[in-house]
Amino acid sequence: MPDNRTRTTLVDAPRGLAGVVVADTEIGDVRGGEGFYHYRQYSAVELARTRSFEDVWYLLVHGELPDSRRSASFAARTAALRRLPDGVRAALPAIAAAGGRSGPLAGMRTALSLLGAAQGFHPVYDIDADRRRRDGLVAAAAVPTLLTALHRLGRGLEPVEPREDLPYAANYLYMLTGSEPDEERTRAVEQYLISTIDHGFNASTFTARVVASTGADMAGCLTGAVAALSGPLHGGAPSRALDTLDAIGTPDRIDSWIRERVLAGERIMGFGHAVYRTEDPRSRMLREVARRFGGPRVEFAVEVERRVEAILAELKPGRELHTNVEFYAGVVMELCGLPREMFTPTFAAARVVGWIANVLEQAEDGKIIRPVARYVGPKAPVAVPRAA
């Protein structure tokens, strides 16, 4: 009898799925050739310049920007969700101690799983859209509390309880340092957080959607995303970009250091991006933020950027290389007093909102993501040899 079942058509895809469209989304887009990206219908950079973190969070969850009444209500609602359940708080010292040098991002993978259990998160497949949004708000509000507590415990300090009277960015800095931050630093960190909420189908976002497509609960989706972000090829570059400035050291060493790396074919951390073929708009905006602070560190970073582009044009004509978000993100976070080990966790404190927006969207699809692989091993079938 002929097999009349629908057959799957196998299609070759490039390594890393580069350029392959795997889903439709209304959350945002990255237009690398233009050097532009947006959340919903708004320029992400313009949102970072003009709106609060909570407003952009509302936009990604609800699909529109809030008016002043909804903005205040949403900010109050999410602020009330910052405190952790007692069982999660009690477990954090052990998680921090077990993590050792792995840091708060690794600890958060465990803590998120515990949070999901403590808060009674259900598989997204089994609950309606309102309950999914509720779980997403609970998780996102808790992430800064988890990260800062794990960081402080790892340093032998007591965690700082969140405050409901502070906005998201200010409360994050307060829990991290124990002191209420000034407006200039708060706004700088807030603009960084807004600029990194979402950025297309990057590795961690795609991971969150794959897990969501199985119907898993919100904590499971976010744990997978955090694991992907922890990889050095994805979320580990802001501190490494500062390492570049440290390695150069002084202005008189810029040209020789850069020439040596370019001629050796080595990567210069903080430069180049997998998507952008022109200047990274996030870098442009964060350069503006850094220049508001001013000072020798900022002037040095700007000069390094200028000389990298000039020397590359000389030695590798036709190959453009611009700063990416990590270069000035590291400078800005350093100026705001964040320790380097908290750069990538701070990134996660923003991106969790984007991950959740993608989980919510994927959950509406109801189709499991299940690609195939081409087998290239020894020819099968081969008879199994008997045990000696």
Q: Which residues are catalytic?
A: 273, 326
Which residue matches tokens 């087998």? 375
The vertex-74 CA angle with 70 and 77, nearest 5°, equals 140
Decide if 332 contacts 297 (C-beta within 8 A).
no
| Cβ contacts of 252-259, under 8 Å, gap ≥ 24 | 254/303, 254/304, 254/307, 255/307, 255/311, 258/304, 258/307, 258/308, 258/311, 259/311, 259/315
What is the full DSSP assignment across 25-46?
A: -SSEEEETTTTEEEETTEEHHH
Query: What angle, rounded to 10 degrees, do the helices at 343-365 and 203-213 form?
Result: 40
- Is there a cis peptide before residue 381, judged by omega within 30 degrees of 0? yes
Contacts of 244 (CB under 8 A, 6+ apart): 268, 269, 270, 304
Phi, psi angles (nearest 5°) of residue 201: -90, 60
Kindly report the number of other CB atoms within 10 A of residue 350's CB atom: 26
| Both structure tokens of 178 | 């124990």
Tell me whether residue 5 is exposed, middle or buried, using C-beta atoms within 10 angstroms of its C-beta: 0 to 12, 13 to 18, 19 or more.
Answer: exposed
What is the full DSSP assignment across 226-255?
A: HHHHTSTTTT-HHHHHHHHHHHH-SGGGHH
